[in-house]
Amino acid sequence: MNDFVITATRTMKSYAGKVAGYLTKFSSFASFSGSIDGIDLLSTDRFADGEKEVVVGSSIRGKDVFIFASCARNEAGLGVDEAKIELYHTVDALKRAQAERITVFEPFISCSRSDRTARRSSVGLWVHLKILYSLGARHFVTYQLHSDKSKSMIDPSRCTIDDIPALTLLKQRLCDVYIKDISTLESTIRKSWAFCSVDAGGEKLARKFANSFGVPLVVAHKQRDYSRCNSIECVNILSAEPVEGKILWIVDDLVDTAGSVETLIRALAPMKPAEINLLAVHPVFSSPAPERLKQLSVEKLLNRIIVTDTVACSQIEQDSIPNLEVVPSAELSARVIKTIVCNASMAKLLRNFNAELYLKSPTLFNQRQPD
């Protein structure tokens, strides 16, 4: 095991602290002599004209460094552009301080939807990744990239990427809180639940949930107005079974303005489902998403929303959206880092989730495995 340290830009310091805390509890690191926690390793200086400089406060020569960062909504309140510039400066500073290997851990890559190359526009994800590995990052870790094809933007001879399926966190939450035992899954859930995609492109995600729980799949096909961002013309619903009386779980990798979600829910409501819920990994929640979700809740069209904390949600933001549940991901992040520094297999973190097996033996899946 190489000597390593966990640090963060200002955007994810408290999150990185939680990850370091979990790591110190693993028996694998009981005899580790180095310091894992480097949360206060970095400082940001400002010049009078607004330019910035990131300073590494102590020696990291020869160490592997895991840097947590978020360019989406974050605990420091930095805007997208400032958060990115700070991350770029940080990687440069770590490289100049002679870190052995730099791993950028962005639980949510905010520019991940800017991945199309067949039009006259910049490709934000490519620009972001290109800058980072040109500066010296040699490994990226993230949760639930918007598109699998995005990973092909990285030259594996220069840099590697691990895209961890954070959908597993949501599936475990459903099992732990709403199902609890195998008999309920078999006698109730499989008769009353269905998972629904937000659009045809999201069918793959929704199908993974349907297969994991052994319940029906509903596919929504939306027609976008590509002359405007975040706009939808209409939604068509495809289902092999009647939606009426079903408990529907809409599945998406992220919720931005909630325009797609609102349009879909209003299209589903006349079909008289028993209730409609929303599952999403990344709670981007750009305005007017909070207002839209709150209004859907007030109208009793949306029952509950379950997301992860890959994008920061303050208590005020959580209180503004009724029935919002935020699933923590720091322990999973700690297990990802443990796997990397121990040169172990990622198979346990990437395996397909099966609700029946999980309820029979929770230790089969990463979150409950003993160290």
Region of residue 200 (left: phi > 0; alpha: psi -120 to 50; beta: else): alpha
- Sequence-distant (≥ 6) Cβ neighbours of residue 330 within 8 angstroms: 15, 18, 19, 21, 22, 309
pLDDT (0 to 100) of residue 307: 98
pLDDT (0 to 100) of residue 239: 81
For 212-229, write each residue's pLDDT tens digit. 999 999 998 866 554 555
Of 326, 255, 323, 325, the residue nearest 288 (C-alpha): 255
Strands 232-239 and 217-224: antiparallel
- Cα distance between residue 100 and residue 95, in whole Å: 8
- Average pLDDT, whole number, for the chain? 90
- Cα distance between residue 141 and residue 152, in whole Å: 14
C-alpha 181: how far from chain center: 27
pLDDT (0 to 100) of residue 229: 54
CATH topology identical between 4-165+331-351 and 167-328? yes
| pLDDT bracket for residue 155 (50, 70, 90) | confident
- Sequence-distant (≥ 6) Cβ neighbours of residue 227 within 8 angstroms: none
Task: Check if the beta carbon of residue 25 is closer than 8 Å to that of residue 35.
Answer: no
Ranges of each domain in the chain: 4-165+331-351, 167-328
For 56-78, write each residue's pLDDT tens digit. 999 999 999 999 999 999 999 99
For 263-322, write each residue's pLDDT tens digit. 999 999 999 999 999 999 999 999 999 999 999 999 999 999 999 999 999 888 888 999
DSSP string, 231-268: -EEEEEEEESS--TT-EEEEEEEEESSSHHHHHHHHHH
| pTM exceeds 0.85, yes or no | yes
Task: Provide the percentage of residues in the chain whose pLDDT is more than 70.
Answer: 91
Amino acid making up residue 38: G
For 310-369, write each residue's pLDDT tens digit. 999 988 888 899 999 999 999 999 999 999 999 999 998 988 999 999 998 866 554 444
Burial of 21 (0-12, 13-18, 19+ CB in 10 A): middle
Q: How many CB atoms lie within 10 A of CB 54?
A: 20
| pLDDT bracket for residue 234 (50, 70, 90) | low
pLDDT (0 to 100) of residue 226: 47
The CATH label, of 3.40.50.2020, 3.40.50.20, 3.40.50.2300, 3.40.50.620, for the domain at 4-165+331-351 is 3.40.50.2020
Is the CATH number 3.40.50.2020 carried by domain 167-328? yes
